[in-house]
Structures are given as C-alpha cells and as structure tokens.
A and B are shown apart, each in its own frame.
Chain A
Amino acid sequence: MNLFLNQLINGLHVGSIYALIALGYTMVYGIVKLINFAHGDILMIGAYTAVVTLVSLNWSAPAALLAAILACVLFGVLIERVAYKPLRKSPRISSLITAIGVSMLLQNTALLIFGAQSRPFPTVLHVAPLRFLGLQVSFITVLTVLVSAALMIILQVFVKASKAGKAMRAASEDYNTAQLMGINVNTTITLTFAIGCALAGIGAYLYVMAYPAVSPTMGSLPGLKAFIAAVLGGIGVIPGAMLGGFVMGIAESLTKAYISTTMSDAVVYGILILVLLVKPTGLIGSLSREKV
C-alpha cells in the first residue's frame, strides 16, 4: 500500500511537470494550430540559464528562477517572430518542419556552446523530507505539485475571465473575426507564446531540481512526453493538457514500480494509442462544428 501511494505521489510529481510543459504545446496549438516542436528545447534553455546563473554567476536560487523564466519567454517570443510568423499563411506542414528545424538549431547551438557533457544542477533546497501517514515525501515533490496546481488554476482563471484571455480564445477560433472586434491578433499570439514559455521556464527549474542534469538534448524526452500528454488530454484544450500530464506521470511511475522500468515508455505510448483509437480528439477534447 505504501509503495502504491509513494508511486502515486511520484507520478503526480513528474506528471505536474509534464502538465506545465504540455500547457505550452496546447496553448500554442490552440491559437496558431502549430505543434511547436522546439518547446522541449525551450525547457533546455531554461535549465541552462538556471545552471549558468546559479553556478557560474553565483546568483541566488530565486534570481536564477527568474532568469530562467525570462530567457524562456525571450526565446519563445523570438522564435515565434522570426521562424513562425512569416509562415502563418503557408501550409501547416511548412511551419511544422520549421519547428523541427528550430528544435535542431537550438540543440546544436547549445551543444556548440556548452559541449555534450551534462552539467550537474546544484541542490538549491535543503529541506528535510516531509513525513505523514508513514510516508516519506521529498519537499521538492510537494513544492512541484503545489506550484504546478497553483499555476494551472491561475492560467485557467486568466483564460476564462480576463480580457486578454478572452482575446486569446477569440483569436484561436477565428483570426479575421477577432480582428474585426479590434483584437490585435499578433500581440495575442505573442502573449500566448510568452505565457507558454514562462510555464516551460518554471517547469525547467522544477525538472532539474528533481533530475539534476542539464544537457543540450535534455528537452527532447520531457518535451515529447508533454506533447503526448497534450494530445492525450485533447490538444488545444487547457484542462486537457493538465489531465494528460497527470495521467502520463502516474501511468509512468506505476509501470516502473509494478511492471518494469524499461517498459514504462511503452505503456505510456500504448495508453496514448488506445485513447486515440477510442476517442481521437483526446480525453476531453471536442470537435467544434460550424453551423451554417
């Protein structure tokens, strides 16, 4: 029973990081209908920024977190302006290939600057594990789950209730009509990338606190998993990304505990295939039909 609960908590931990990254995929997809394959590498940029500011520049942990978030936002917005915006009216496959290209560019640039060897991420939190009900839970786990949950709630309220959030939803349905309302679609898209990348920056920091190795290709796997989480939950739907992230994280950690460590990815991808076979729009995604 304790093993089960511990694994469940581990699953929540990694799942909430997937969810944070998945939000970036799903928000961007929702508004520009593009799978931003460079999103995982934004995570890598955040992680390098954190490790460089912490270790080489000797900044404090909160300052490094802030730097990581800012670097992610800056790169995300820059990538959108330089690589995706010029292609907004091109066929979707062009921007998709561009996204893969941007991902490779970022990974190889990081390789050039930082080398292939991974850098250790220092311990920034020296807090004893929490104990309750006979369980021992690391403080990082508790922090990660709480921070992610808070961010998701804030994001949900922002998108539902704020003016900018409503503009995002309107633009994600129809650019032209959104413009007729006076919404500056370009600004709205920039804002969407900025928010998605800020979440990736926080996700990056939480990720390297749990898995303290920073390398040029470190973003690929969590990026892929988060992308799958977004699809699993229903791409374009914000609560879907959260649900998908948690389902993936828990499935992964339970498989590791009860079936086999090497099988965990296979099980996770298997779940994705099953869900998509039964419900191609994802767990809580839906098709919008146009009425004429």
Chain B
Amino acid sequence: MLKVHEINLFYGAIHTLRDISFEVRPGEIVSLIGANGAGKSSILNAISGIVPIATGDILFEDKSIKKLPAFRLVGMGLAQVPEGRRVFARMSVLENLEMGAFTRQDRARVQEDLERVFTHFPRLKERRRQHAGTLSGGEQQMLAMGRALMSRPKLLMMDEPSMGLAPLLVQEIFDIIRQVNQDGTTVLLVEQNAQMALSLAHRAYVLETGRIIKTGGGQELLKDEDVRRAYLGG
C-alpha cells in the first residue's frame, strides 16, 4: 500500500533521514519507534508532503506521491493525525470533524462516518458545539483521530498519539487504533512509547539518528535484547 524507497531529507545542513526504506501492506499496523530526534515525525511529514524530500521516492498504491502537494493526498486516502494533535482551537468540535471530510462529496456517507466517529468517541458528541481549544489533551487527541477518520482513509498515519496523555487514556487510544484497524484501515504509527507501539504492531521498524537499524514483527521486537535495552528499559 505504501512504499518508501531510499528517501533522504535535509533540514538546512542537517541530514535528517538517511536512505530510509520501508513498506506498509494493506491491513497492517506498522510502527516506527525510536528516540526523540530519530526522525520519526520527519518520515510522516515527508510522506504527507509537508516537507520535501531530497532524493528517493514514495509510492502510495503504486503511484509516486513525492511531487504531489500535501492537500492532494487526503483525497487519495492518506490521512495524518499530526504530532501535538493540532486541532483547530477556534473552531467547534463538529467543525473540526467537518474539516476532516473537506474533500468528500458523498454527504450521506459523511454523515454515517460522523455517527461512527461519535460511537468511537462519545465524549466528542457531548462536546460537539464546544470550541476545540477548550477540550482536554486526551479529548483533543480523540478529536484529531476522529477528524482524520472523517476522510475515510485507506492509510491512517498517527504521530505520537500517546504524547502527554495519562496511561489510562493511552490505553484507550490504542484500543481504538486496534478497532479502527480491524474495521479495515491500515495504520502507520510513530511512537516513542515503544512498549505500546510494539505490542499493537504487526510489524515495526526501529529508527536511530535518521536510519532504520532494525525491523521485525511487533512481538518479536518486544523480545529483542537490543530493543529491550534501548527502548523498553531493560
């Protein structure tokens, strides 16, 4: 579904991503784990076209998307939940969700999807008239996810969904990611919380200073000595 082929990315003089290659197959949950600054978010921003890559190619459903402007991708079925949630604070919860369906014309099914998002996140339904800026961090994360789901994506990319959330909420968010995946959405997950990310993932890649240093099944990497020492605290 998604093939990233030897991409390189620079921020000014800093070589952020070095020859990164990986793929996400239909139906999978794939996790990218690594420390802060390893380049995880840069990968997502490169895929969604927010930062341009220097070399390499990115294929989505066998079509190169590296030259497409960011706003074209969501219509192709690629949605991103950005790092730090990035909800539209001065717009209502409902309007935020509507923005997620911005490119869609099929109104009736948008309405269905809205109901589905409200079933996943009943809190959002209660607060649909409130400004998104007044929500708690956890609710904003739910809104950011709901907003991305409103585009009915084939591939959902999530950037640090656990960041700054209480452990109970993290568990809730990850349960929903699993549900969304079981409903047929492919997921690419970027996480610092390696424990959660690996236990959820079918496959995972370990990133270190802009390079992929290890890959394998989620469960397999959970048991890997190096991974345990570096990311799971023993």
Contacts and interface: CB of A to CB of B under 8 A. Distances in A.
Interface of A: 163, 166-167, 169-170, 173-174, 176-185, 288-292
B100 A181 contact: yes
B84 A292 contact: yes
A87 B82 CA distance: 25
**Interface majority SS (helix, strand, loop, mixed), chain A:** helix
B20 interface: no
Interface in B103-140: 103, 133, 135-137, 140
A173 B89 contact: yes
Contacts of B147: 181
Greatest chain B CB density within 10 A among A163, A180, A182, A184 is at A180
Contacts of B90: 169, 173, 288
**Interface size bucket, B side?**
20 to 34
Contact of B103 (A170, A174, A182, A185): A182
B69 interface: yes
Given A291-B140, A292-B84, A292-B164, A173 B91 contact: yes
Contact of A177 (B82, B95, B98): B82
Contact of B74 (A169, A174, A182, A291): A182
26 contacts: A166-B91, A166-B99, A167-B99, A169-B90, A170-B91, A170-B99, A173-B90, A174-B86, A178-B71, A178-B99, A179-B50, A179-B70, A179-B71, A180-B48, A180-B80, A181-B71, A181-B100, A182-B73, A182-B74, A182-B75, A183-B71, A184-B69, A289-B133, A291-B135, A291-B137, A292-B84
Contacts of B80: 180
Contacts of A289: 89, 133
B88 interface: yes
Contacts of B50: 176, 179-180
Nearest to A289: B133
Given A182-B151, A291-B137, A291-B140, A177 B88 contact: yes
B87 to A, nearest CB: 8
A166 B102 CA distance: 10
Contacts of B86: 174, 176-177
A290 B89 contact: yes
Nearest to B144: A177
A288 B133 contact: yes
A180 B140 CA distance: 17
B79 interface: yes
Contacts of B140: 291
Contacts of B72: 182
A177 B144 CA distance: 10
A73 B135 CA distance: 39
Nearest to B80: A180
A182 B100 CA distance: 8
B71 A184 contact: yes
Interface string B49-62: 11000000000000
Given A174-B88, A181-B151, 12 more contacts: A169-B88, A169-B95, A173-B88, A176-B86, A179-B71, A181-B74, A182-B71, A182-B74, A183-B99, A184-B69, A288-B133, A289-B89
Contacts of A182: 71-75, 102-103, 151
A292 B137 contact: yes
A181 B91 contact: no
Contact of A166 (B73, B74, B95): B95
Nearest to A171: B88
Contacts of B82: 176-177, 180
A173 B48 CA distance: 19
